[in-house]
Amino acid sequence: MEKRAMGTDIRSLVEVFVNQMVAAIEADSVRRIRDAVAAAFGDEAPAPRRLGRPPSLGAALPAAPVRHRPKQLCPVPGCTGVAAPVFGMVCAKHKDVPKAKIKEYRAQRRAEKAGK
């Protein structure tokens, strides 16, 4: 007799659990369908905040123009080469110029800019 009572208790617990799972899945499906229809017709209401990674906004946001920094030129007078950090912010031709001389060139350039 106890085995039958225990079997029915387990069966009833499983039925309650399954019914709760079915209700949760149906509610999620209805919500997702409602959101898709609202998005299709433009009646999109703000979605509630959820945990986890946000959906991709790449298509929704307009592309902002990418602004690059201007190239830094070599400080040696008359040189039009691009400076590089690997050479100490001078061009490849002037990488062996002493740092004191480079400082002088930069000071001259600053003085010329300030004079303008």
Tokens standing for residue 5: 């009572």
Q: Which long-range contacts (CB under 8 A, 24 or more apart) does 26-29 make?
A: none
Indicate if 35 and 76 belong to the same structural domain.
Answer: no
Indicate if 74 and 110 belong to the same structural domain.
Answer: yes
Q: What is the pLDDT of residues 29-59, one digit of tens each?
A: 999 988 888 877 776 555 666 777 766 655 5
Indicate if 76 and 113 belong to the same structural domain.
Answer: yes
The Cα 72–Cα 79 span in angstroms is 12
Question: Which contiguous run of DSSP H or E holds residue 19?
Answer: helix 2-41
Report yes or no on 51 lying in a domain: no
Residue 2 is predicted with a pLDDT of 58
Report yes or no on 54 lying in a domain: no
Taking alpha carbons only, the member of 114, 106, 100 closest to residue 75 is 106
Residue 40 is predicted with a pLDDT of 79
* Single residue among 9, 29, 45 that ends a domain in this structure: 45
Report yes or no on 21 lying in a domain: yes
Average pLDDT, the chain: 84
Q: What is the pLDDT of residues 10-27, one digit of tens each?
A: 888 999 999 999 999 999
Report yes or no on 85 lying in a domain: yes
Report yes or no on 29 lying in a domain: yes
Total of domains in the chain: 2
Residue 34 is predicted with a pLDDT of 86
Report yes or no on 94 lying in a domain: yes
Q: Supply the range of the domain harboring residue 15.
A: 1-45
pTM of the model: 0.42
Indicate the SS3 state at residue 73.
Answer: strand
Tokens standing for residue 15: 């039925």
